[in-house]
Structure 1
Amino acid sequence: MQLSYFRRVAAGGAVAALTFAGAGALTATPAYAATSKVSVVHGIPDTPVDVYVNGKKTLDNFKPGDVAGPLDLEQGAYDIALTKPGEALDKAILTVDDAEVPGGANISLAAHLDEAGKPKITPFANDTAKVDAGKARLIVRHTAAAPAVDVRAGGKPVFEDLTNPNEAKADVDAGTVSADVVLAGTDTVAIGPADLDLKEGTATIVYAIGSAEAKNLDLVAQTITGLHSAPGGVPSGTGGQAGTGVQTWWYVLAGAGVLLLVGGGARVAATARTSRR
């Protein structure tokens, strides 16, 4: 892969949240509720969770490293809670109250650790703009309890000084690239190397998850397809299946249950909190 084609575009988590918040104003009308494509990424290590939405259990034993979705979710406001499997709702380890889901967006909600190692949920607005022929989009998100890092491809830094919970992205030649993550400004490898298969007309989103102190840093990948310049499809997300399988997850969430983890709305940054045990 020609690394010279990388062009860096960095966006902070706050910017992503603002983009997320504004998306609903584009298509919402009183008569027709606009929808968004929502995927969920579990990046809190060693912490499988049960997910509650508006007081009802929606997902059992959602495991670290899994990606669920995407679902087409109507805009609205919801209460979200994450508990350890089998524990009561009043012992939630993370809650989000009155979280807003906009309409007309493609969103990933990352449950992860902040730089200090505390669990949080960060919404990211996914870039689904078309890519040129022969190109793919690479997006890297720092969602680990770790200091600033550089992301290298083929041994050369392409994204530098990336901090939690920020992202960097570039449109690159489609193909396979060997990538690793090093401490910013050094050659000290924190994660990888790993081979990334960047298919033409897709966006590959790579999340750095885990904790540097606990020595369990890892990568989770999500893929969004349908970004070819020529007409031929509607962008949609794909990723690893949840512990119960994406199909099972889908049916469990049917009807009132389709609210899974929609707590990545505009107010996540303001309302997410870690509950005291």
Structure 2
Amino acid sequence: MTLRRSLAAFAACVAAGIFVAPLPAHAAGASKVSVVHGIPGQPVDVYVNGKKTLDNFQPSKVAGPLELPAGKYDIVIVKPGDPVTSPIIKVDQAAVPADANISLVAHLTADGKPTLTPFVNDVSTLAPGKARLVVRHTAAAPAVDVRAGGQPVFKNLSNPNEAKADLAAGSVSADVVLAGTTTVAIPAANLDLKEGTSTIVYAVGSAEGKTLGVVAQTISGLHGTPGSVNSGSGGTADQGPGALVYVLGGAGLILLLGGVLALRRVRTRA
């Protein structure tokens, strides 16, 4: 199923009243919500508040962003055609805050179990000439270090954490090694970061299962103007080994989600 059809499914649910009608862009109370599928080899159906929202949603795809009012949502992810009583992942009362940009990521834990992790995307204004790179480790794989010029720029990034940096727009060359070693996991490569965008790269899959890969999401429109409230725009997907170069060059702070999205209960089924 194509991303266009996935988005059409979202739109159909909105029209049917499954969600409250989306508010105008940047309206108070509305949030941009994207869904990222990082479970290898497993298409899924996604139910929100008991209604099917995505049908046969394929791995390594990004759906959205959809504008949703602030509120609480029950999310159930099942194998295609399975009832909601047989979930792969189930989250009750996930709280969508107001005026946020959120990515909900279905992925594997470090020990290979399906889970759903919410990330609040940093859509703060970028200075002229800058681009933002965010790296999220959501794979069943060991921690990694990222090197630039042979030197680590951040260390020990593990599942389900993230690192980010605002960099000069342009080309970045780096490689990825297993944490604390010089064993190259990803050879040196170049990445072109576009001014005024945030590139978010998710490491997904399983090292043991030899299904490691990446999903990339891009948020545009982060050029700032005085007095603006920036929620970002867009959200495109990329996949495959070539996209893994987006991991190269990340540096900085691991952001904790805290309680922004409260996951009251998560139940997984292998």
Instruction: Give the match's secondary structure for 2:85.
Output: helix
Is 1:103 matched up with 2:136?
A: no
Q: How many Å separate the matches in 2 of 1:121 and 1:143?
A: 10
Is 1:148 matched up with 2:143?
A: yes
Q: How many Å separate the matches in 1 of 2:172 and 2:79?
A: 37
Is 1:60 matched up with 2:45?
A: no
How do 1:31-70 residues align onto structure 2 when only pairs under 5 Å count?
34-70=29-65
Instruction: Give the match's secondary structure for 1:90.
Output: coil
- Work out whether residues 101 and 231 of structure 2, in 8 Å CA contact, stay in contact via their aligned partners in 1: no
Give the aligned partner of residue 85 of structure 1: 80
Give the aligned partner of residue 274 of structure 1: 268
- TM-score by length of structure 2 reads 0.75
Q: What one-letter code is carried by the residue in structure 2 that aligns with 1:272?
A: V
Give the aligned partner of residue 237 of structure 1: 234
Q: How many Å separate the matches in 1 of 2:205 and 2:195?
A: 29
* Higher mean C-alpha deviation, range 54-63 or range 201-210: 54-63
Q: How many Å separate the matches in 2 of 1:81 and 1:100?
A: 14
The count of residues paired between Structure 1 and Structure 2 equals 223
More RCO (CA 8 Å, sep 6+): 1
Identity, in percent, stands at: 65
Going from structure 1 to structure 2, the CA distance change for 1:148 and 1:33 (only over 3 Å counts) comes to: same
Partner of residue 222 from structure 1, selected from 217, 224, 235: 217
More helix by share: 1
Q: What one-letter code is carried by the residue in structure 2 that aligns with 1:57?
A: K
Superposition CA RMSD, Å: 2.5
Q: How many Å separate the matches in 2 of 1:265 and 1:71?
A: 18
Q: Deviations over 1:183-212 (max 9, x none)?
A: 102232334655432100111111111111
Q: How many Å separate the matches in 2 of 1:49 and 1:156?
A: 40
Give the aligned partner of residue 136 of structure 1: 131
Question: How far has the Cα of 1:179 moved from its partner?
Answer: 4.4
Going from structure 1 to structure 2, the CA distance change for 1:180 and 1:218 (only over 3 Å counts) comes to: farther
Give the aligned partner of residue 195 of structure 2: 200
- Work out whether residues 99 and 231 of structure 2, in 8 Å CA contact, stay in contact via their aligned partners in 1: no
Instruction: Give the match's secondary structure for 1:151.
Output: strand
Q: Deviations over 1:5-53 (max 9, x none)?
A: xxxxxxxxxxxxxxxxxxxxxxxxxxx9711011111111111101112
- Work out whether residues 102 and 118 of structure 2, in 8 Å CA contact, stay in contact via their aligned partners in 1: yes
Give the aligned partner of residue 246 of structure 1: none
Instruction: Give the match's secondary structure for 1:205.
Output: strand
- Work out whether residues 114 and 269 of structure 2, in 8 Å CA contact, stay in contact via their aligned partners in 1: no
Question: How far has the Cα of 1:109 moved from its partner?
Answer: 1.0
Where in structure 2 are there 5+ consecutive unaligned residues?
Answer: 1-26, 239-258
Question: How far has the Cα of 1:165 moved from its partner?
Answer: 0.7
